[in-house]
Amino acid sequence: MSQKVLLNATEINIALNRLACQLIENHHNFSETVLVGIQPRGVFLAERLKSLLETEYKIKDIKLGYLDITFFRDDFRRSEKPLEANKTRIDFIVENKKVVFIDDVLFTGRSIRSALTAIQSFGRPLEIELLTLIDRRFSRHLPIQPDYRGRQVDAINGEKVKVCWKENDGEDAVYLVKS
Amino acid sequence: MELSVKHLLGIKYITEADIQLIFETADHFKEVINRPIKKVPSLRDITIANLFFENSTRTKLSFELAEKRLSADVINFASSSSSVTKGETLIDTVNNILSMKVDMVVMRHPNPGAGVFLSKHINASIVNAGDGAHEHPTQALLDCYSIREKLGDVAGKKIVIVGDILHSRVALSNIFALQKLGASVKVCGPKTLIPKYIEEFGVGFEPNLKKALEWCDVANMLRVQNERMDISYFPTTREYTQQFGLNKKLLDSLGKEILIMHPGPINRGVEITSDVADSKQSIILEQVQNGVAVRMAVIYLLASKIKHDEN
């Protein structure tokens, strides 16, 4: 198994700042916008962006929720291992709000498809956007594209993109792992 | 993590890790059933048959709701209105239902061991919803889940089960579950309604209700099952109530707050008075709410073991 660095800590930081600025361009003071991190790996990115927006760009009261999509996935009973759920924590109503889904890697698009169904349990959003740190090109199974992306990556099927966060994995880095 | 079993036939057959997995999964489903839209699509390609060879209101509704909240297709069967009365055997009845492509069976049956017997003859997953005086595993799971929710943990807690232990499947399943989770259990009731060898299970017997209540953190009050009593086990209902009925005066005399549970249906004024059943120490209605989440967890975890290509 070999791995190649796609983004180091500095590059991740630059990408995060750019994504934060792009969000501000479209959502101004975030009064009508809610951020939703997709469990399990999207929540790290979502937390980072929230704290960046609050500390660096002085935007107050950003609403952030975690959405678990386990029970909405389309591969229940098709994978070897049983699907394990994570916590959903959305303590606001998304009715008529602009929702931004945040996930680390966009690959087949199936997780986002599930998230689009799952979020309906919390109301009817005005619109939904998608932000991902890594967009794996040419690998989509569904017509889903990100509105904000950190970096586009071409990876073949046997390869895996691994996103590490300091708070969980000890460092900020994105690797391309060949098995 | 996955369950160590294909069927839920009784608490006796599952491990502590299984119980903890069911509880953790139930936590997620409890959040789901408190959403504005209480339904998830996980089991949309699963069909479940609820076979009730014995009457039930709460358990049947709770299972059916749990199945529907998971988007499973549900068919219901009650023996009183079926061909069972024409003399059909259990295996024939179930095989006929399974040939309509049913993946899971939830069964209540008056005979102990009916679930175990069936599991040896059919392929579908079986959930025991009560078999005679043997086991009622989902009730025990929801009771322990409710204790965990209220007191933080089941381990180290003292639970007394009061009433008709002899005829109670709830008592037996509760004893197994509580012990697997590390709680101490005592039973209390008329000596005639206590099984002879109960102490061999590591369960204490306390004939005096006040002493039992002073010892415990949680009291689970059982119903006197008149329908299962072929002989007289105590002189009169009035005498039973005087000795083993829980009333407000007794509860207030304890000098501490204990949790009051009841698996339902309640005989108000017999094993428990109305003011106790409706007091804030009683978690009877929380038990019912948790029942749906726990049953969703059990069905979800068992269904995830049914492989797609087996259909």
**Cβ contact (<8 Å) for A77 and B39?**
no
Please tell me the predicted confidence (pLDDT) of residue B82: 67
Cα distances (Å, whole numbers) of residue B108 to B65, B84, B184: 16, 14, 28
Please tell me the predicted confidence (pLDDT) of residue A178: 86
B248 is in an annotated binding site: no
- Looking at chain A from residue 105 to 124, which residues have their Cβ under 8 Å from any Cβ of chain B? 117-118, 120-123
Using CA coordinates, name the residue in chain B closest to A94.
B36
Please tell me the predicted confidence (pLDDT) of residue B57: 83
User: In the predicted model, is pLDDT for residue B311 greater than 50?
Assistant: no
Amino acid, res. B56:
S
Query: Tokens 């209700």, residue?
Result: B209
Q: B280 CB near a chain A CB, below 8 Å?
A: no
B169 is in an annotated binding site: yes
Sign of CA dihedral B61, B62, B63, B66: positive
- If pLDDT is split at 50, 70 and 90, which confidence band does B171 have? very high
Q: Residue B155: how many CB atoms within 10 A of its CB?
A: 12
Domains along chain B? 11-136+289-310 (3.40.50.1370), 137-284 (3.40.50.1370)
**pLDDT per position as a tens digit, B124-140:** 999 999 999 999 999 99
- Testing the interface with B: which of A71, A92, A119 to mutate, by most B Cβ within 10 A? A71
Please tell me the predicted confidence (pLDDT) of residue B81: 66
SS3 (DSSP) at B107: strand
Burial of B290 (0-12, 13-18, 19+ CB in 10 A): buried
Alpha helices in chain B (DSSP H): 16-32, 58-69, 90-98, 114-119, 137-151, 169-180, 209-215, 237-244, 248-252, 274-277, 284-303
The CA distance from A82 to B302, in Å, is 10
CATH of A9-72+87-158, picked from 1.10.40.30, 3.40.50.880, 3.40.50.2020, 1.10.760.10, is 3.40.50.2020
CA A76-A47-A116 angle, 5° bins: 35
Query: Tokens 């492989």, residue?
Result: B307
**Cβ contact (<8 Å) for A71 and B301?**
no
B85 contact partners, CB below 8 Å, separation of at least 6: B79
**pLDDT per position as a tens digit, B198-207:** 988 899 999 9
**Cβ contact (<8 Å) for B36 and A93?**
yes
Query: Chain-wide mean pLDDT for chain B?
Result: 91
**pLDDT per position as a tens digit, A93-133:** 899 999 999 999 999 999 999 999 999 888 899 999 999 99
Any idea which of B188-197, B228-237, B249-258 has the lowest mean pLDDT? B228-237
Using CA coordinates, name the residue in chain B closest to A121.
B37
**pLDDT per position as a tens digit, A32-48:** 999 999 998 999 999 99
Please tell me the predicted confidence (pLDDT) of residue B107: 95
User: In the predicted model, is pLDDT for residue B117 greater than 90?
Assistant: yes
**Cβ contact (<8 Å) for A77 and B307?**
yes
Pairing of strands B104-109, B125-131: parallel
Using CA coordinates, name the residue in chain B closest to A123.
B36
Q: Which member of B25, B32, B308 has the closest CB to residue A78? A: B308
Q: Which residues in chain B are closer than 8 Å to A83, comparing Cβ atoms?
A: 304
**ipTM > 0.90?**
no
The answer to whether the CB of B57 falls within 8 A of the CB of B78 is: no
- If pLDDT is split at 50, 70 and 90, which confidence band does B309 have? low
Q: B35 CB near a chain A CB, below 8 Å?
A: yes
Q: Which residues in chain A are closer than 8 Å to B293, comparing Cβ atoms?
A: none
Average pLDDT over residues B215-223: 95
pTM here?
0.88
User: What residue spans define the domains of chain A?
Assistant: 9-72+87-158
User: In the predicted model, is pLDDT for residue B246 greater than 60?
Assistant: yes
Please tell me the predicted confidence (pLDDT) of residue B214: 95
Q: A57 CB near a chain B CB, below 8 Å?
A: no
Sign of CA dihedral B271, B273, B276, B282: positive
Average pLDDT over residues A53-78: 89
Q: A68 CB near a chain B CB, below 8 Å?
A: yes
DSSP H/E element including A177: strand A173-178
**pLDDT per position as a tens digit, B251-308:** 999 989 999 999 988 999 999 999 999 999 999 999 999 999 999 999 999 998 887 5
The CA distance from B173 to B12, in Å, is 8
- H and E: helices and strands count for chain A: 4, 8
